[in-house]
């Protein structure tokens, strides 16, 4: 079994779905059997399996911009470029780096981005560390 994080391009809902294999996913996708759980749209795409997150002093501002601009895939890709340019990539160490930024009060000029698990994200939130998830599309998908 393989879990894919899917995003609906119409209502922007992100949800997880299980498939027996990646081939099975491709097969169902071709037959238009992969649809949004919320609005039934077929404009559903795979995202990375872990939520992509970022944090910076300007998170609320940036987040509202992302929400405004993630209507289309092209804009998401543009925004990924923005994040890549302006944020330091910390990969799967996101939770660790976020805590380090938060507790040491590091004066980071840049924010950070990476991936983390839903559990870590929940813990960060409970510790008062603001991190935001965003849709993320692999560069090599078309
Ligand atoms: Zn939808």
CA of 12 to the centre of ligand 1 (A): 6
Judge whether 86 and 78 are in contact, CB under 8 Å.
Answer: no
The yes-or-no verdict on residue 93 having pLDDT over 50 is yes
CA of 9 to the centre of ligand 1 (A): 7
The yes-or-no verdict on residue 141 having pLDDT over 60 is no
Q: What is the pLDDT of residues 64-73, one digit of tens each?
A: 666 665 556 7
Calculated CA dihedral for residues 115, 108, 67, 116, nearest 10 degrees: 10
Q: What percent of the chain has pLDDT over 90?
A: 12
Q: What is the pLDDT of residues 29-62, one digit of tens each?
A: 999 999 998 899 999 988 754 556 766 665 556 6
CA of 10 to the centre of ligand 1 (A): 5
Q: How high is the pLDDT of residue 47?
A: 76
CA of 103 to the centre of ligand 1 (A): 38
Q: How far is CA 96 from CA 42, 46, 59, 132, in A?
A: 37, 26, 18, 15
CA of 44 to the centre of ligand 1 (A): 8
CA of 42 to the centre of ligand 1 (A): 8
Q: How high is the pLDDT of residue 142?
A: 43
Q: How high is the pLDDT of residue 20?
A: 85
First to last CA, the chain: 25
């Amino acid at each position: 079994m393989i879990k894919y994080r899917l995003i609906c391009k119409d209502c922007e809902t992100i949800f997880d779905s299980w498939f027996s294999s990646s081939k099975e996913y491709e097969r169902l996708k071709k037959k238009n059997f992969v649809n949004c759980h919320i609005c039934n749209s077929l404009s559903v795409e795979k995202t990375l399996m872990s939520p992509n997150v970022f944090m910076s002093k300007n998170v609320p501002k940036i987040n509202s911009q992302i929400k405004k601009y993630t209507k289309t895939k092209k804009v998401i890709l543009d925004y990924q470029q923005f994040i890549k340019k302006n944020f330091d990539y910390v990969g799967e160490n996101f939770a660790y780096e976020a805590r380090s930024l938060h507790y040491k009060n590091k004066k980071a000029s840049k924010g950070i981005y990476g991936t983390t698990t839903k559990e870590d994200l929940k813990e960060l939130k409970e510790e008062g560390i603001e991190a935001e998830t965003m849709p993320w599309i692999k560069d090599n998908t078309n």
